[in-house]
């Protein structure tokens, strides 16, 4: 049984590392990072991870995790080998999951058609464009598809997924091992609670980076 986290240039580090920390030791499953080609994959900054396998070596996975990042928005729009690969493996997975804008890659691969799903708050309209039913929740489960909202929600998704794979007690042990007991210093993690000027600043930043101004 194989768990694979997909990497691509420009992925958001925590989107991959959060679920990895929850999932990597799941009993009965082997784990691999997969990319278009095996080898180092940069997040576009100073952080690089190693993909043990290329997509041409993997024609089936039991659990797929697709992290997000600004690059995921472009990959979803452009299509290409990674989207084709997601489309090919999704029908035979036990679970197909995403974090943040990774949901847009699932959508581009046809995995979210008429499926309730979530993503980063900035990209809810993009998600709807792929035929998904946007749900403003931190983690959304529908059938074998689990999607998580922005970045940190990938940890929540990973723990939920572990509970399905290995049971609630094991998932709780993983959470305790991580000491995942969040108490953020500010209540500004979503537009529903963040000050309006902070939301406007972040939205403007994304608009500029994506050329949407």
pLDDT in tens, 34-81: 999 999 999 999 999 999 999 999 999 999 999 999 999 999 999 999
pLDDT of amino acid 213 = 79
Domain check: are 142 and 203 in the same one? no
Domain that holds residue 120: 2-181
With a cut of 50, list the residues of the chain below it in pLDDT. Answer: none
Enzyme catalytic residues: 100
Cβ contacts of residue 119 below 8 Å, gap of 6+? 68, 98, 100, 101, 102, 103, 104, 126, 127, 134, 147, 149, 150
pLDDT of amino acid 212 = 92
Domain check: are 194 and 164 in the same one? no
β-strand partners of 133: 116
Domain check: are 147 and 204 in the same one? no
Q: What CATH number is given to the structural domain containing 79?
A: 3.40.50.880
Domain check: are 130 and 102 in the same one? yes
Q: How far apart are CA 133 and CA 111, in angstroms?
A: 12
pLDDT of amino acid 102 = 98
Q: How far apart are CA 124 and CA 126, in angstroms?
A: 5
97 within 8 A of 148, measured Cβ to Cβ: yes
pLDDT of amino acid 173 = 98
Q: How many domains does the chain have?
A: 2
pLDDT of amino acid 91 = 98
Domain check: are 50 and 77 in the same one? yes
Domain check: are 10 and 25 in the same one? yes
Domain check: are 165 and 152 in the same one? yes
Tokens read off for 138? 């931190």
Q: How far apart are CA 64 and CA 66, in angstroms?
A: 7
Domain check: are 92 and 119 in the same one? yes
16 within 8 A of 5, measured Cβ to Cβ: yes
Domain check: are 28 and 119 in the same one? yes
Q: Beta-carbon neighbour count of residue 116 at 10 Å?
A: 16
Domain check: are 41 and 133 in the same one? yes
Domain check: are 208 and 164 in the same one? no
Domain check: are 102 and 207 in the same one? no
pLDDT of amino acid 124 = 96
């Amino acid at each position: 049984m194989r768990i694979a986290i997909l990497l691509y240039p420009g992925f958001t580090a925590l989107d991959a590392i959060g679920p990895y920390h929850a999932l990597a030791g799941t009993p009965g499953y082997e784990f691999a990072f997969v990319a278009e080609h095996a080898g180092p994959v940069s997040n576009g900054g100073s952080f690089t991870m190693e993909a043990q396998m290329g997509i041409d070596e993997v024609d089936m996975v039991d659990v797929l995790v697709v992290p997000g990042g600004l690059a995921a928005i472009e990959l979803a729009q452009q299509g290409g080998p990674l989207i084709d690969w997601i489309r090919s493996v999704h029908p035979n997975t036990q679970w197909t999951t995403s974090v943040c804008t990774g949901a847009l890659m699932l959508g581009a691969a046809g995995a979210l058609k008429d499926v309730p799903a979530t993503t980063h708050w900035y990209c809810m309209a993009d998600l709807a464009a792929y035929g998904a039913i946007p749900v403003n929740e931190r983690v959304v489960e529908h059938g074998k598809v689990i999607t998580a909202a922005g970045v940190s929600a990938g940890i929540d998704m990973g723990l939920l997924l572990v509970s399905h794979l290995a049971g609630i007690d094991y998932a709780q042990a993983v959470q305790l091992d991580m000491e995942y007991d969040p108490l953020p210093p500010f209540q500004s993690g979503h537009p529903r609670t963040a000050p309006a000027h902070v939301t406007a600043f972040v939205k403007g930043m994304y608009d500029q980076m994506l050329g949407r101004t």
